[in-house]
Structure 1
Amino acid sequence: MLEELVAAALSLALLWCLHRVWRTPRDPALWMVSACLAFMALSYPLGWLARAAEADPAVQHGIPKVLLNAVIMLGYFFLMLFFLFSAAPAGKGVRHQAWREVIPLAAAVIAQTVSMALTPDQLRDHKFSTTDLQIPGIASFYFVGASYLVYVLVQAARFALRYAAESNRRVRIGLRMAAVGLGIRALSGSLRVLLVVVFWLGGTVPDAVREMTATLAALGGGLFVTGVLCPAVLLRVATMRVWWRHRRAYRELRPLWEVLNSVYPKDALDRRTRSLWRERVSPRRVRRHYWRRVIEIRDGLVQLSPHLADFGYSPSRPADQQITTFQRALQHRHEGLPATTSSAVLVAAPPQVGNVESDVAELLALTRKIAMQRGDTPHRQDTGLRARNAVMIDRIRAQDPAPYAERRYVLRILAINGRKTGEIRSVPIAVTQLDGQRYVCAPHRQRDWVRNLLAAGQTQIERDTHPMHRAVLVEGDEAARAIQTYLHDLGNHSMMWPFPPNAPVSEILAHTSTTAVFRLEPKPG
């Protein structure tokens, strides 16, 4: 069973390498490792064929055994060439050296074939552990095979160490470990050569030496595999660190993104996703979301900078020390007032030009100030939101529900099924009545309750006569009028909306494709 799994793993690795070869066909190292995997994978079915020949008295010619050993030697030969081509550019000198390495390989294959031909027919399907090594044909067969493997393993270890000297630290550690593993395998092969000579001369060796040979072979193989996998594992660890840092920064930048998105919603890039789970865990997708958020924030700051200049923003001072100026500029933009200048100022500029990390650090410092102004903690914005919602829910439940009234809003608690867990989520929200219909509104569609309601399509309003309602997303004139009614009744200014509170329907109408307005229709029963 283990052999079948190893053969399957080698076949999958070969398919992956062939895909890489198809994309970069001029890379000789890829060709060599693909050939190595191909011959190593082929050795398993040939091994099964050799064992089947041993059980069949009609087939006692040793050909499967010769083929098996030739394939194994070819696998190690191409492994050596992989390190050779990786350690040096593929110039004429390297290619000539590669062709010179064919000579010992061909000599070993020919010598083993001759040795098998000199072996009596009834002894050709022999095993190293049970055969009589005093027979010259058998002794020479194993001596040649073991000697060539020692040679090719030593050469591969040399080239691997040469490759390690020219590689970065992460790859260098793995290559040196792989070279040590190859050296241990070569030591095991040397002991095997010594055993062949001793047995051919009629001597004996303790069983501990045989066990040591097998132990060294297993240890060297394991160390080699570990060394080969080490760079990939270290790279994955480094990737996960970057993933965690980007994911954390993405969440921390949310308050700054929200206030800028509320005044410049058209700066938001396309957010359509096919798999929410993959969007959250895939390093590539998290990195894309992270950079998209940074770009959207920078775009918003560039557009806001003329308003900042009007209120005396100074590029020489840190942006997080001018939060009052920042808020006044946002208020100015929310009210729809134009800037007196079209020239931009540099906002939250990093101290080192071209250093992306310091650029993001400046944005994070500004975000933390905004989060503090909003009552959020820098790293627990979601927790703070849940706590505020819990307080609001308790207040609403402690009072008698206000009756619905035309062109007014009342506070209610919506019970919505979570889009991922299916659990009931209670949300305090304002329900506005207009023309006998009831609406709930949000400045954008990224809020959790909006996304939950979009997925569920229905909600339950606590303490209503008919609690179950169908939630219908509306846009256009109907949505614009519902938003205008809600903001007019709200009275105070909200920076979340991409237009001033007294904006006419015609101005709100341009934003109804990005805002969220649901018409709540009572469901019978």
Structure 2
Amino acid sequence: MAVTVLILTAAILHLSVVWKLVQVARAPRDLSLRVVTLCLICTAASFLLGLDAAARIVDHVLGIGVSRLVQNALLLGVVYLLMCVFLVSAEERPRASRRARWEALPLAVAVLILILSTVATPADVRGRDFATADMSQTPVALFFIVAALYLVYALASALWWTVRYARMSLRPLATGLWLTTGALAGMVAANAGRLGIDVMRWRGEQAPAWLNQGTQGLLGLAVPVFIVGVTYSGAAMRLASGRVWLQHRRAYRRLRPLWDALHDAFPQDALGRVPTNGWRDFLSLRGTHYRYYRRVIECRDGLVRISPTLAQLGVQEDASPSDLARHLGKALDAQADQAATPGHALAVALPGDDENDLDADVRQLVLLSDALSRQPGRLKAGSTSR
């Protein structure tokens, strides 16, 4: 079970880091986003140093106990940055900046104490993890007690500001913030429990098993919930945009018969390609949207061009898609034979009066394209898709 939780946490954590880096690449000037990303990077680095293999490598290169020191310093930095994120979000920027600078002082003091206690710890007991640390050594106990004290303080402060920000927010951001709030509450409780364990072990007392298991269980649950919380709003927005992308992709394909017919008749109406931005457009799936809008515009332009011929054939503005498709074939044949004469444009394949948006317009074009695809002999082989 512990290994499964460890693997799941690592997977969620590193996927979240990658996702936030993509978001930073898209919005490099977003200060809050950069701080959140830095939080996740520091969390990932601290998590990595918590693994025995990584810790042994660092200690071998830099000295015994360095990995444990850096891991805990990173963890304190994470909760400080996290507190700053929600502080900036819930308060005015000047006031939040002043508060963040003041909050850096307890962090600096805590990290300094960690460094001094590590130096003062005998080499033979230095660098052990929480479970095996010799708490009878005062420098060792001081190291873990100070770290736990700062974590409880900073996480409780972050929890306070997160609750305030969540009350000010709307979904899906609010949902993610409330998930984060629950995770932070679990972290505060778990670290308060660990603080009690540290004090008891320093005094030579045995911590009860339920307290050890409870703190481990809370942390094992709170960390992945926290990661899900801070990434929830972005994931929800990406899911919504994914649904739009799928809708555009389907409509683009269904418009192919209509576009083929109109493009063959009016190739001069083809729009030039919109410049793309390489990997950023690939990651955001913008190419499908560009092609979708271009095809919709070209189909509508083609219908405007052919509408005088449709009017001459007796087509009415409220003609059904099947009737319009049947006459459209004749109109295109007449256009190809140059048998049509100029006339007044006719508004065809338009949505109802109660529908006045692009999606409604596209639905009418798709219905016309579907009807046209069912007309015998209308599809021409060799048309170029755009």
Which TM-score band applies after superposition, normalised by the shorter structure?
Answer: 0.7 to 0.9
* Aligned position for 1:214: 216
Deviation at 1:373, TM superposition (A): 3.4
Q: Aligned residues, how many? A: 370
Q: Are residues 340 and 97 of structure 1, via their aligned partners in 2, closer, same or farther at CA, if it must alter by over 3 Å? A: same
CA radius of gyration, larger in: 1
Q: Contact conserved, 1:11 with 1:37, CA < 8 A, in 2?
A: no
Q: Are residues 92 and 126 of structure 1, via their aligned partners in 2, closer, same or farther at CA, if it must alter by over 3 Å? A: same
Matched, 1:24 2:28: yes
Counterpart of 1:76 (choices 67, 79, 90) is 79
- SS of the residue aligned with 1:348? coil
* Aligned position for 2:36: 33
Q: Are residues 321 and 163 of structure 1, via their aligned partners in 2, closer, same or farther at CA, if it must alter by over 3 Å? A: farther
**Counterpart code for 2:260:** E
**Counterpart code for 1:20:** V
Deviation at 1:364, TM superposition (A): 2.2
Matched, 1:244 2:246: yes
Map 1:201-350 to 2 at 5 A: 201-269=203-271, 283-315=285-317, 322-323=324-325, 325-341=327-343, 343-350=344-351
Deviation at 1:355, TM superposition (A): 0.7
Matched, 1:137 2:139: yes
Which has the larger share of helix? 2
* Aligned position for 1:170: 172
- SS of the residue aligned with 2:375? helix
Q: Contact conserved, 1:77 with 1:152, CA < 8 A, in 2?
A: yes
- SS of the residue aligned with 2:189? helix
Deviation at 1:221, TM superposition (A): 0.9
Map 1:478-497 to 2 at 5 A: none
Deviation at 1:220, TM superposition (A): 0.8
Q: Determine the C-alpha separation between the residues in 1 that align with 2:282 and 2:262.
A: 23
* Aligned position for 1:186: 188
Deviation at 1:293, TM superposition (A): 1.7
Q: Are residues 262 and 223 of structure 1, via their aligned partners in 2, closer, same or farther at CA, if it must alter by over 3 Å? A: same
**Counterpart code for 1:76:** V
Describe the superposition over 1:1-32 as per-residue Cα deviations: whole angstroms up to 9, x where unpaired.
989x969x85994797399379633x321332
Describe the superposition over 1:209-260 as per-residue Cα deviations: whole angstroms up to 9, x where unpaired.
2122222111111212222343344334333322332222223223322332
Q: Contact conserved, 2:309 with 2:341, CA < 8 A, in 1?
A: yes
- SS of the residue aligned with 1:169? coil
- SS of the residue aligned with 1:374? coil
Describe the superposition over 1:169-204 as per-residue Cα deviations: whole angstroms up to 9, x where unpaired.
233323322322222122111110111122233332
Q: Are residues 83 and 242 of structure 1, via their aligned partners in 2, closer, same or farther at CA, if it must alter by over 3 Å? A: same
Q: Contact conserved, 1:255 with 1:367, CA < 8 A, in 2?
A: yes
Q: Are residues 23 and 371 of structure 1, via their aligned partners in 2, closer, same or farther at CA, if it must alter by over 3 Å? A: closer
Larger relative contact order, structure 1 or 2 (CA cutoff 8 Å, min sep 6): 2
Deviation at 1:64, TM superposition (A): 5.5
Describe the superposition over 1:353-397 as per-residue Cα deviations: whole angstroms up to 9, x where unpaired.
751110111212323333343389xxxxxxxx9xxxxxxxxxxxx
Q: Determine the C-alpha separation between the residues in 1 that align with 2:239 and 2:176.
A: 14
* Aligned position for 1:446: 384
Q: Are residues 251 and 38 of structure 1, via their aligned partners in 2, closer, same or farther at CA, if it must alter by over 3 Å? A: closer
Q: Are residues 336 and 165 of structure 1, via their aligned partners in 2, closer, same or farther at CA, if it must alter by over 3 Å? A: farther
Deviation at 1:146, TM superposition (A): 0.7
Q: Contact conserved, 2:68 with 2:129, CA < 8 A, in 1?
A: no
Q: Are residues 108 and 236 of structure 1, via their aligned partners in 2, closer, same or farther at CA, if it must alter by over 3 Å? A: same
Deviation at 1:328, TM superposition (A): 4.5
Q: Are residues 173 and 59 of structure 1, via their aligned partners in 2, closer, same or farther at CA, if it must alter by over 3 Å? A: closer
Q: Are residues 112 and 22 of structure 1, via their aligned partners in 2, closer, same or farther at CA, if it must alter by over 3 Å? A: same
Q: Determine the C-alpha separation between the residues in 1 that align with 2:87 and 2:383.
A: 56
Deviation at 1:99, TM superposition (A): 1.3
**Counterpart code for 1:337:** A
**Counterpart code for 2:216:** A
Q: Are residues 309 and 23 of structure 1, via their aligned partners in 2, closer, same or farther at CA, if it must alter by over 3 Å? A: same
- SS of the residue aligned with 2:85? helix
**Counterpart code for 1:84:** L
Q: Determine the C-alpha separation between the residues in 1 that align with 2:22 and 2:283.
A: 28
Q: Determine the C-alpha separation between the residues in 1 that align with 2:265 and 2:146.
A: 79
**Counterpart code for 2:304:** V
Q: Determine the C-alpha separation between the residues in 2 that align with 1:102 and 1:280.
A: 40
Deviation at 1:335, TM superposition (A): 2.3
Q: Contact conserved, 1:260 with 1:301, CA < 8 A, in 2?
A: yes
* Aligned position for 1:92: 94
**Counterpart code for 1:82:** V
Deviation at 1:91, TM superposition (A): 1.8
TM-score (norm 2): 0.78
Gaps in structure 1 of 5+ consecutive residues: 273-278, 377-384, 386-441, 448-525
Q: Are residues 209 and 44 of structure 1, via their aligned partners in 2, closer, same or farther at CA, if it must alter by over 3 Å? A: closer
Describe the superposition over 1:423-471 as per-residue Cα deviations: whole angstroms up to 9, x where unpaired.
xxxxxxxxxxxxxxxxxxx674438xxxxxxxxxxxxxxxxxxxxxxxx
Q: Contact conserved, 1:320 with 1:366, CA < 8 A, in 2?
A: yes
Q: Are residues 326 and 64 of structure 1, via their aligned partners in 2, closer, same or farther at CA, if it must alter by over 3 Å? A: closer
Q: Are residues 163 and 340 of structure 1, via their aligned partners in 2, closer, same or farther at CA, if it must alter by over 3 Å? A: same
RMSD, aligned α-carbons: 4.1
**Counterpart code for 1:175:** L
TM-score (norm 1): 0.59
- SS of the residue aligned with 2:183? helix
